[in-house]
Amino acid sequence: MNAHRSISLSIASFILGLVALPAHAQATEGDVDGDGKSDLAWYYDSTTDLQVLRSDGSNFNGVMVQKPAGVPTWGSLADVNGDGKSDLVWYYKSLGVVQTMMSDGSTFNGAFAAKPVGDPIWAATGDVNGDGKADLAWLYATGDLQVLFSNGSTFNAGISHKPVGIPTWGSLADVNGDGKSDLVWYYNSQGVVQVMMSNGTTFNGAFSQKAVGDMSWAATGDVNGDGKADLAWYYGAISRVRVFFSDGSNFNGGLSHTMASNPSWGALEDVDGDGKSDLVWYDRGQSLVHVMMSDGVAFAGAWSAKPVGDPYWAGGGNSPGALGVGYPLL
Ligand SMILES: [Ca+2]
Ligand SMILES: [Ca+2]
Ligand SMILES: [Ca+2]
Ligand SMILES: [Ca+2]
């Protein structure tokens, strides 16, 4: 099996995995304790322990352990009530509902209405209407996309949209820096990333398509700190991550970084709170989480690797509006 086919199958299995309970990691982002530094959430289904590895800017310390009720089908870390602390947004297939557990900085509580939504084939969180509260984007097998706006205590009807085609990968990220998360979708049939800009009430075009080709994993985040979310694309066959910087209307050449180890999962998250999203990845062979800091033009300055085991689900990051989606571990 060649790499190209393997990647396509990985993406296909991820899409299927959303519908059939996935036994692999999904990536998102979040600053759980609200100190401006993105933390990493790591969930083990074997013990049903959720461990939040809190970033102090130079390491993941201060583990916060929680036992949510039940194993999720999909999850995200997102600040749904706009208090600066990322909350846990989990979908339970058995119940057909999204359950949100609010972070108070040291634990997760209830206090957000469960929302019946039904099974998605893709889902993401991001602040689509720019009110400071993360919203929920839910794509159904029919190709219908529903964005549910958070009002701080529940998700309500927001945008109904039917984009052209079903993506193989997607993210919500504010690529033009207007405070509203845009829809960043990859179609592997065309090898291009398509952005649909949010104006708060609908999604429009007006962003050039970017030919990127198939990746092993991808993420969005503001790597150069200009307020516009950038695109990171990891090519496993050449062990290289490429970051395409957004200028608000296109993704242009950014930076290229050859990985020293082989990431099974990656995310962009600002772990030191300097406004530049850093590269966080998990090496499954080593059972280690690594961090490479962004200085705006390159990834340099590695953190101490953090020992963790294979997660069932993982989340992290806090760039404005840049929330990832899941992938299977490679
Ligand atoms: Ca919102
Ligand atoms: Ca935007
Ligand atoms: Ca940027
Ligand atoms: Ca940073």
Under DSSP, the state recorded for 323 is B
3-state secondary structure of 94: coil
Q: Which ligand places an atom closest to the C-alpha of 150? A: 1
Q: Which ligand places an atom closest to the C-alpha of 130? A: 1
Query: Ligand 1 centre and the CA of 63: distance in Å?
Result: 29
Q: Which ligand places an atom closest to the C-alpha of 317? A: 4
Work out the mean pLDDT of the chain and round it to a whole number.
84
- The helix (run of H) or strand (run of E) holding residue 7 is helix 3-19
The pLDDT tens digits of the residues spanning 2-47 come to 444 444 444 444 433 333 222 222 333 589 998 999 999 888 888 8
The pLDDT tens digits of the residues spanning 271-324 come to 999 999 999 998 888 999 999 999 999 999 999 999 988 888 887 543 222 223
Contacts of 59 (CB under 8 A, 6+ apart): 303, 304, 306
Residue scoring higher pLDDT (322 or 77): 77
Query: Ligand 3 centre and the CA of 112: distance in Å?
Result: 32
Under DSSP, the state recorded for 286 is T
Query: Ligand 4 centre and the CA of 259: distance in Å?
Result: 18
Q: Which ligand places an atom closest to the C-alpha of 174? A: 2
Query: Ligand 4 centre and the CA of 39: distance in Å?
Result: 12
